[in-house]
Amino acid sequence: MTLSKAYKFLKNLFLMVCISLSIYACSNSDISNAVEVKGYNIIDNKITYNANPIQLIGANTLQSFGVGSQDLINWNLDITREFVGNVKENPVSGTPILDSNNQWLHSLEAIVAENRANNLITILCPFGWDGTTENLFTGKKPTETFFYSDFINQLELWAETFKDQDDVWIEVWNEPYRFDRADGYTDDIWLSDMTTLYQIVRNKTSSIILIPCAEQGQDESVLINVGSSFLNGKTNVLFDIHAYEKWLIDSEDNMSQRLSVLENKNLPVFFGEIAPVNSGVLMNPNPLLDLLSDSGISLAAWLWKYDENDQDALLTKDGNPNNVNNNNWGSSYRSLALKERNPKK
């Protein structure tokens, strides 16, 4: 082989090797990117599945008292927000137990398994410490509760148990701080408390974490003020807003503007509770339901319960939509749930 031919051969060989290495690197990068976006994640301000935006319609449920989510499928629901009212005693795994209030409690793993069998996402939400009314979480400053240290241990156990299960999301607290801020609330307190609780969960799992708003969940101003700061350096965060009188007695125009502000701030929000009655006041959720549906925001109704004597219950004891003295709440929500989803673009 002449020197010229040898040079051409080596040159071509070098080019082929470079091309092969480039293709291999790109292929590995594509695989890596695909892994990163697999399953349920928050991307920008959107809930996504395999990187595609989705809208979820769901309900708050009481499966710790009795597992069974098949009926939710008949309403075309996508997600449950599970009421855990006795965090102290509710088993994470194993068979049901009889708690100190003489109430049978089913394990969190059993609830998740039931929901997963019906293709439902599960949000595990701590509502109360020991099953008593006085130790419900709503309206309390987390760090000022006598059970805070023990609660952190339980929250950590939840996160470890459902580590990296992308269809199991954990909310860190239900409805913190008083509705009137008479407890000395400031946004800095929220920022500190929620950062601590977020990190406890994030240290154990990569899945979505829900962070509640202030004023017992109804005040979104904290998100507007410090939500972007909270998101810095954090992943898979979804802010939970509750829509009762601070939303539902507002005008439709104002509600629309409030949603636009959240959208313009690029904040990922989920309306984790909405119902027609709160503090004895009957309201009409339908205007907000329509706004949320049209804007692609996901939500969960309060409450999946078979009891026409409870105005917030979605069903009668016979399993029909509950429309008793509640602005046709059952039928309105079922109609929304049966609609085609409208995810954010």
Q: Is the pTM of this model over 0.75?
A: yes
**How do residues 70-80 score in pLDDT, each as one tens digit?**
999 999 999 99
- CA 341-62-206 angle, to 5 degrees, is 60
List of E strands, 100-207:
104-105, 121-126, 168-171
Break the chain into its structural domains and give their ranges. Answer: 1-36, 40-338
3-state secondary structure of 95: coil
Query: Rounded to whole angstroms, how far apart are CA atoms 40 and 169?
Result: 10
Fold annotation for 40-338? TIM Barrel (3.20.20)
Q: Tens place of pLDDT for every residue, the chain, 345 residues?
A: 544 444 444 455 444 544 444 444 444 444 344 456 899 999 999 999 999 999 999 999 999 999 999 999 999 999 999 999 999 999 999 999 999 999 999 999 999 999 999 999 999 999 999 999 999 999 999 999 999 999 999 999 999 999 999 999 999 999 999 999 999 999 999 999 999 999 999 999 999 999 999 999 999 999 999 999 999 999 999 999 999 999 999 999 999 999 999 999 999 999 999 999 999 999 999 999 999 999 999 999 999 999 999 999 999 999 999 999 999 999 999 999 999 999 998
pLDDT digits (tens, 9 = 90+) for 35-48: 568 999 999 999 99
